[in-house]
Amino acid sequence: MITPRQLFYKRLVSEWRFQYTAWKPAVDWTVALYILLPATALGLYGYLSLWRQPPAWLALIPLNGLMIVVFYFAWSGTVRIFIEEADQLFLWQCRDWIRQLIGFGLGYSAAVNLLLTILLFALLAPVLLLHFRLSWAQSGLLAAITFLLKMDLGLARRLMTSQQQSWPLLNPRTALFLISGVAFTWAIRPVLNSAALCLLATALLLFLFIILIRARINSRGIFQEDVAREASARLRYASFALRASGVNIKKPGPQRRCPWLWSRSQPLFGERNPVNCLTETCIKLFLRNLNELKLYLLLSVLCVAFAWPYGAWAKLAVWCCYAVLFAGWSSFYWQHTAASDFMSLLRWKQADLSAAARKSIFILMLPGFLLAGLVLGFQAFSWPGALATLPAAVPLGYLATRFVSRFL
């Protein structure tokens, strides 16, 4: 007969199989050959350059600034427990099974988060050791504290039930984010400089870890939330890959009563015609989805980080190519909007759809493209460089949009 451990392994294998199936069509041999392999080679070259000689621009970044990135890493991600909707039929009443299943899930999440933390600190090692002059012991302790913080924040967020708040600042998640973020970024330096404080911080986080794990394993009444979060976590990155392959994925919907943006259904465009309404729909769907916004921001940050190590003109050349990347990324949002079930109930003229596609893609790609241009332009040629990217972004974005929309 089946044991809880066997059931967990089955669910884990199913999860891996799902992710593999989702990503396989999107990452075919052309993507691997023309994008992944060159990007990996360039990235490796940039990383090895950091070890040889940290670049001068690192002097602009204080340790606290880097800790903001580290904190964001600790905040991001999720803790999985592999609960499924059908568990409510009979498994939910078998508390021992559920406790074990959740325990295995938390163990798996801890292992994954540990690997990710090690990877992050391996990438940050040249900056921490050579530029900020931290010792190996201090860097190791920082990694340990980051890992424990990541687990604690993930568990704490899972224990919070979702609240329908009209004012985001009253949301306990926001409060947790602000308090833990400020505490981490400001306290980390003194903690790393004192063995006693280091021990205290590690012990505190470990204690919290144990308390939160026990609370999570024994909590009841948040089953539906857990199921929704598991579904979201499963589709977190897979939905992007599936959309890239043309599959329309319906993610679990939000639990708010009103949207946080345009809560009174305000229009974006004065003139009400099919093109503007379609464009408005696409923009609102994107901006009201925090997960999509986070991914978009992450893309912008990664683009900046990727081009960062190179010379001034190379930076700007890469930035120009980013126009196609951002336009392509934004086209996924348009395709998701156009392929939704509700849209298929209405009859649209092809000309209107095409015009709305171009308008949506152009509007959505510009902010990220502009942000990357401002940062890279500033880094390349200071303020004149940054300001020069502003007028250049519009025609580049327009051309990239025309190019990408031809393939829709």
Partner 1 sequence: MDTLLSVKIEHAGYAGNPRAVEDVGFSLRSGELLGLIGANGAGKSTVIRAITGLLPELAGTVNFQRPDSRYAYIPEQPVLYDELTLWEHLELAASAFGLERREFLDRAGRLLELFRLDKVRHHLPGSFSKGMRQKTMLIIGFLIAADVYIIDEPFMGLDPPAMMDLLSLLDRQRVRGAGVLLSTHVLDTAERICDSLALMDSGRLIMQGNLEQIRAACNMPGAPLLACFNKILESI
Q: Is 97 in the site for partner 1 (CB under 8 A)?
A: yes
- How is residue 131 annotated by DSSP? I
Q: Is 94 in the site for partner 1 (CB under 8 A)?
A: yes
Q: Determine the interface stretch with partner 1 among 160-168, 184-192, 318-326, 334-342 (rule: CB under 8 A).
A: 160-168
CB 212, min distance to partner 1, A? 18
Q: Is 221 in the site for partner 1 (CB under 8 A)?
A: yes
Q: Is 1 in the site for partner 1 (CB under 8 A)?
A: yes
Q: Is 21 in the site for partner 1 (CB under 8 A)?
A: no
Specify the residue, 56 or 89, whose C-beta has the smaller distance to partner 1: 89
Report residue 77 as tokens. Answer: 């991600």
CA–CA distance, 260 with 175 (Å, rounded to integer) = 17
Closest CA to 145 of 87, 96, 102, 208: 208
Specify the residue, 174 or 193, whose C-beta has the smaller distance to partner 1: 174
CB 158, min distance to partner 1, A? 13
Q: Contacts with partner 1: how many residues (CB under 8 A)? A: 28
CB 86, min distance to partner 1, A? 5
DSSP 69-107: HHHHHHHSS-------GGGGTTGGG-HHHHHHHHHHHHH
Q: Is 344 in the site for partner 1 (CB under 8 A)?
A: no
Among 42, 61, 69, 222, indicate the residue that binds partner 1 (CB under 8 A).
Answer: 222
Binding mask 354-383 for partner 1 (x = CB under 8 A): ------------------------------
- How is residue 136 annotated by DSSP? H
CA–CA distance, 90 with 74 (Å, rounded to integer) = 35
- CA torsion 99→103→109→111, rounded to 10°? -170
Q: Is 31 in the site for partner 1 (CB under 8 A)?
A: no
87 CB contacts (<8 Å, ≥6 apart)? Answer: 98, 223
Specify the residue, 21 or 194, whose C-beta has the smaller distance to partner 1: 21
Report residue 190 as tokens. Answer: 């003194």
Q: Determine the interface stretch with partner 1 among 39-47, 82-90, 107-115, 377-385 (rule: CB under 8 A).
A: 82-90
Report CA 11 to chain centroid distance, whole Å: 24
* Buried/exposed 235-244: b ≥16 CB within 10 Å, e otherwise: bbebbbbbbb
58 CB contacts (<8 Å, ≥6 apart)? Answer: 127, 131
Tell me how many helices (H) and strands (E) the chain has. 15, 0
CA–CA distance, 225 with 158 (Å, rounded to integer) = 9
Q: Determine the interface stretch with partner 1 among 1-9, 142-150, 187-195, 344-352 (rule: CB under 8 A).
A: 1-9
Among 64, 163, 193, 382, indicate the residue that binds partner 1 (CB under 8 A).
Answer: 163
Q: Is 262 exposed, middle or buried (0-12, 13-18, 19+ CB in 10 A)?
A: middle
Q: Determine the interface stretch with partner 1 among 19-27, 84-92, 245-253, 292-300 (rule: CB under 8 A).
A: 84-92
Phi, psi for 60 (deg, rounded to 5): -75, -15
Q: Is 224 in the site for partner 1 (CB under 8 A)?
A: yes
Specify the residue, 189 or 251, whose C-beta has the smaller distance to partner 1: 251
Longest dimension (CA), the chain: 71
Among 47, 223, 237, 348, indicate the residue that binds partner 1 (CB under 8 A).
Answer: 223
Q: Is 19 in the site for partner 1 (CB under 8 A)?
A: no
> Do the Cβ atoms of 282 and 339 come closer than 8 Å?
no
Q: Is 85 in the site for partner 1 (CB under 8 A)?
A: yes
Binding mask 239-278 for partner 1 (x = CB under 8 A): ----------------x-x---------------------
Among 19, 78, 138, 162, indicate the residue that binds partner 1 (CB under 8 A).
Answer: 162
Binding site residues, partner 1, CB under 8 A: 1-3, 7, 14, 84-86, 88-94, 97, 161-164, 220-225, 255, 257
